[in-house]
Amino acid sequence: MTFSHIRSATGGAGSFNSQGHLLLKAIDADQDLVPLLRNWQDHFLISNDYPSFNDAVLAMMAPREDGIPNCAPHMVNPSIVDCPNFSVEALQQLVSAKRNAGEEHELRTLQVSCRDPFMSEEDHQWFTQFVNAFDFHTTIA
């Protein structure tokens, strides 16, 4: 089952479990993803064509240094498609923070498909080392 938010990231005030994938697609740039992700309690997140998916959102998905989650606490299978406004460094910080929070928080899969950010071979190897199943595709505009 896929729970979809298309063009709006507005969610309810209470926690929810989508029983499958949370799909965020073509969300307007002015929409804030963080309030929705604070309430989301599942594992599979698909962000597709979402300009506001950026380093700040990745930082909020990382557990704090004391291990307490910020938002998307159970997310271990993210897929990022055509979201141009995040950096490889911020994605690495998310992977590291989730690893440091314990095995149950580590990313099991990570799929990235977009024109940017550019990923060096060294970065690619880093992700392959720290994520069980890492898949990165660069598309041509």
pLDDT tens for residues 87-127? 999 999 999 999 998 888 899 999 999 876 678 999 999 99
User: How many angstroms separate the CA atoms of 62 and 104, rounded?
Assistant: 13
- Chain length of the chain: 141
Q: Sheet holding 44-48: strands in order across?
A: 2-6, 21-25, 44-48, 77-81, 109-114, 133-138
Q: Phi, psi (5° rounding) for residue 47?
A: -105, 115
DSSP bridge pairs for 16: 40
- Select the more confidently predicted residue: 47 or 92: 92
The angle formed by the CA atoms of residues 95, 102 and 64, to the nearest 5 degrees, is: 65
Strands (E) in 1-141, as ranges, are: 2-6, 21-25, 44-48, 77-81, 109-114, 133-138
- Select the more confidently predicted residue: 76 or 5: 76
What mean pLDDT do residues 25-39 have?
A: 78
The angle formed by the CA atoms of residues 122, 124 and 128, to the nearest 5 degrees, is: 115
Q: Phi, psi (5° rounding) for residue 17?
A: -125, 120
Nearest to 92 by CA among 115, 126, 43: 126
Q: Phi, psi (5° rounding) for residue 133?
A: -130, 100
2 contacts 20 by C-beta, under 8 angstroms: yes
pLDDT at 1 over 50: no
**Per-residue pLDDT tens digits for 65-87:** 776 777 888 889 999 998 888 99
Confidence at residue 17, expressed as pLDDT on a 0 to 100 scale = 53
Quote the pTM value: 0.83
Confidence at residue 117, expressed as pLDDT on a 0 to 100 scale = 64
Confidence at residue 26, expressed as pLDDT on a 0 to 100 scale = 81
Domain boundaries, the chain: 2-138
Confidence at residue 109, expressed as pLDDT on a 0 to 100 scale = 95
Confidence at residue 15, expressed as pLDDT on a 0 to 100 scale = 47
pLDDT at 39 over 90: no
Q: Phi, psi (5° rounding) for residue 50?
A: -125, 95
Confidence at residue 14, expressed as pLDDT on a 0 to 100 scale = 44
